[in-house]
Copies of this chain bind each other. A is one copy, B any other.
Amino acid sequence: MSRGNLFNQIPSDLSEEVFETLAQSSEVKIERIISNGQASPKSGWYDQEKDEWVIVLKGFATISFENGSVVELEEGDYLNIPARMKHRVIRTSAKPGTIWLAVHY
């Protein structure tokens, strides 16, 4: 049994987003993401092979989609992003940052 706390052991250097795999199999990856005011590069989209279920558990974030829709996420808000649905993060909270949990499946 591996265990931990999602809200502890926050790295002191948050100049870049921090991605940490909490559990995985051949089909699934469960990941903690910590953002601190970062946004995706304006020129780039996430274009993922797998579905992604994501929840904001501390802070807030805004995700925009290639189709023009924009989704605001606050604490507890979750979203299922189908594979190949291009998106980017246009805003995250800073000090304290945004703690996400993502399941890629």
Contacts and interface: CB of A to CB of B under 8 A. Distances in A.
Interface of A: 1-8, 22-23, 25, 27-28, 30, 51, 53, 55, 57, 69, 71, 74-82, 85, 101, 103, 105
Given A25-B51, A27-B105, A53-B23, A76 B5 contact: yes
Contacts of A81: 1
Copies of this chain, complex-wide, total 2
Contacts of A51: 23, 25
Contacts of A55: 6, 101
A1 B69 CA distance: 11
A6 B76 contact: yes
Q: Considering the complex of A and B, which 8 residue pairs feature the smallest CB-CB distances, nearest first?
A: A7-B76, A28-B105, A27-B27, A5-B76, A6-B76, A23-B53, A3-B79, A2-B80
A71 B3 contact: yes
